[in-house]
Chains A and B, each alone.
Chain A
Amino acid sequence: MSLKDHSDLPHLRRRALLQGATALAGATALGSLGFPAISLAQNKPIRIGMPTILSGRVAMLGQASSNAAMMEVEKFNASGGLGGRKIELIIRDSKGQPQEAARVARELITSDGCDILIDAEASSGAFAVHEVARDLGVLVIHTCSETSALTADPKLRTAMSFRCARQGVHDAIIGGAYAAKVAKEKNLRRWMTCSPDYAYGRDTTAEFIEYLKQFNKDIEVVGDVWPKLFQADYSEVITRLLQGKPQAVYSCLWGGDLTSFIDQSSIYALFKDKQFFAVNMADYAVLHNVKNIPPGLHSGNRYLKSFPTAAANFSWANTYQAKYKDMPLNWAWQNAAAIQFLTAAIKKSNSADSKKLAEALHGMTIDSPFGANGKLTLRADDHTLVDYALAWGELSGKEPFMANPLPGNWKEIATLEAEWKKRKGFA
């Protein structure tokens, strides 16, 4: 015992000495630079926590989210911040696991001192982060979850929660309308679906088919296949589609799964004489990896620098590409837009107080490169993003990839969305 005490003494002395020296050096440095003590509090950074997926199979989505958010934060800080107060973005890896996303989110608030969360999680994690934010009463902006219920369901809604991301039902309405139009033009009656077998795949497919049939009564869905998420081999799925002899196929496969599916389908000539509607195709991660984009492939825009056609969008994509040597993805623009909203709210309220920021964000409209008409709005009714650039079109294998995008009509979306909410009991 006494030996232990003695042995610890030099340690303690050294630590105390180091601490004292550090404190002295710090105080001297501050003094010599002329910072009065009070300005330390005024320059306290505005801490924003960001749980996202930085490891595992979809790590590139989290990386794109981080890159885009950081690019906007740097812009804000470079312009002087809030009277000299800068944003400190603290990014943590959730590994794509909901329980880890919840733990990380809680830690960002309680240990790292964040008052604001940018929730860059997929849907499974977003609901977990949402509950943490609700529990601790902090401001949260969901930037990646497209599950409509997250903001449509009034039971989940709070004054402090927002969604700055596309929404499943919006895509379904626009996609359904576009596909119904193509189906009428090309007389496509027999349809099949091929989507990943989990909540997102099932919900998104059901919503798309609902609107497809609403806009075109002749549609008949003759079969569906549900490959599992991250399936390596789609052979049996493809041959099932061949056996069904559909004229058109809808899919909400995404990322590497979609790439594999298209590559494998091509060698079976699945797309010969068939139209393929893949909502998640028009994102650079997929477009750059599919070596031969078959004719008759239609998609919703995820992120394209060519759409919206505004120069601001083109310029934003080029800046991102120059900085990160990569093209931005769908999650990138959504996170960039969230920081744009947040910094606009900080400026508007002249405060970093999360309650004041939430009040400012309520119904806020900002100028943004990603807006259908150069503007984005966080709708007051349900705190969700509207008026973002939304289109479907046929794809080709090179820039601009979608030569003739058919933009969505936001008036029509709003009307149909309101009816959908009523049917779901959300309104």
Chain B
Amino acid sequence: MNPTALLECLSSASCIVTQLGTGLIVGSLLFLVAAGLTLIFGVLGVVNFAHGSFYMLGAYVALTAYQLSGSFTTAVIAAGLGVGSFGLLFERFLMRRVYSADVLMQLLVCYAIVLIMDDVVKIFWGAEFLSMGMPDAFQSPPLFIAGGVVPVYYAYLIAAAMSIALLLWLLLTQTRMGKTVRAAAQNPTMTSALGINTSLIYAGVFAFGGMLAGLAGGLAAPVRSMSPGMGFSILIESFIVTVIGGMGSVSGALVGALLIGLIRSFGTIGFPLFVEGLMFLAMVLILILRPNGLLGKESRA
């Protein structure tokens, strides 16, 4: 423990900027993964334990698309669309069949997909770790703001994640499609009684959740090495985020992800050996004080 170092950091503008930037970057990627996870849970009521594999697939698809096209934008779009399509197939052929089954059956199906996806990645991309490298457009010195360091790519990444968060919010709250999705989440029986194809909504939400995870994987590809099984650790952190923010709440996911990011960035200064512990401590505290999470609602019947 080094609380003095934390106090020193909090009294220095450069340290605050650097650590704030770090918190935002960690939180941004986490948000993209956790948003898909919580969206699927909010609408379908199922926990997609295979969501980490979606993120992994996004990173690998982005790598291949980048190698083929040389364009990072194409790579990220390919990752989003590719994993979105995979999510659609996953929902239509597998998850749809276990919606009414108990959570253990759903866990089993998802875990099988995790293992299969790890092996598929091994077959197509190999067992060794791979790295995309930083696209030329972002190979520039970091920005210095008030003496703090913010890498150019991370500034772009934070902007991209926040734009996606804004679009998601607009989509869910300001469009007819969003209203239909929320209606299906609130009362699927009544929604289908009104002539709305809830099955189609479920498939669409799963595909959209997958797309968000794929985008996160694609955006992370330049800075994180890829290997089979890489989705596991981000899945655990995404669960923490969704629990903190409230299961099913997209805005909760944003708040939870940023909170985790800031805990990590400032925690490493003051409590370098207890950063992981701080994350779980925050989760426990929130579970005790607000069992439904910061922005979660009462669980549906």
Contacts and interface: CB of A to CB of B under 8 A. Distances in A.
Interface residues of A, number: 39
Nearest to A270: B149
Contact of A57 (B18, B126, B129, B131): B129
A255 B233 contact: no
B149 A269 contact: yes
Interface stretch (A110-118, A182-190, A226-234): A226-234
Contacts of A242: 18, 149
Interface in A322-356: none
Contacts of A290: 131
A228 B153 CA distance: 24
Interface residues of B, number: 50
A225 B224 CA distance: 19
A256 to B, nearest CB: 3
Contacts of A239: 18-19, 21-22, 149, 265, 268
Interface stretch (A69-77, A258-266, A303-311, A381-389): A258-266
B128 to A, nearest CB: 4
A59 B123 CA distance: 13
B273 to A, nearest CB: 7
Contacts of A292: 133-134, 139
Nearest to A63: B127
A264 B233 CA distance: 18
Contacts of B222: 263
A268 interface: yes
B223 interface: yes
Contacts of A260: 131, 223-225
Contacts of A266: 134
Interface string A226-259: 1010111101111110110000000000011101
B230 A268 contact: no
A60 B57 CA distance: 19
B188 interface: no
B134 A225 contact: no
Interface string B22-40: 1101100100000000000
A15 interface: no
B129 A259 contact: yes
A57 B228 contact: yes
A230 B225 CA distance: 10
Contacts of A228: 276
A235 B234 contact: no
Given A233-B29, A285-B128, A256 B138 contact: no
Given A59-B122, A59-B127, A243 B15 contact: yes
B125 to A, nearest CB: 12
Interface string B264-280: 11011100110110000
30 contacts: A55-B127, A57-B229, A59-B228, A60-B127, A60-B128, A225-B268, A225-B272, A233-B224, A235-B22, A235-B26, A235-B154, A236-B19, A236-B22, A236-B23, A236-B264, A236-B268, A239-B19, A239-B265, A240-B272, A255-B129, A256-B225, A259-B129, A263-B222, A267-B138, A267-B152, A269-B142, A285-B128, A291-B131, A291-B133, A292-B133
Closest 8 CB pairs of A and B: A291-B133, A256-B129, A60-B128, A59-B127, A256-B225, A267-B151, A236-B268, A289-B131
Given A267-B134, A291-B134, 10 more contacts: A59-B128, A226-B272, A232-B230, A235-B25, A235-B265, A236-B267, A236-B275, A260-B224, A267-B152, A268-B142
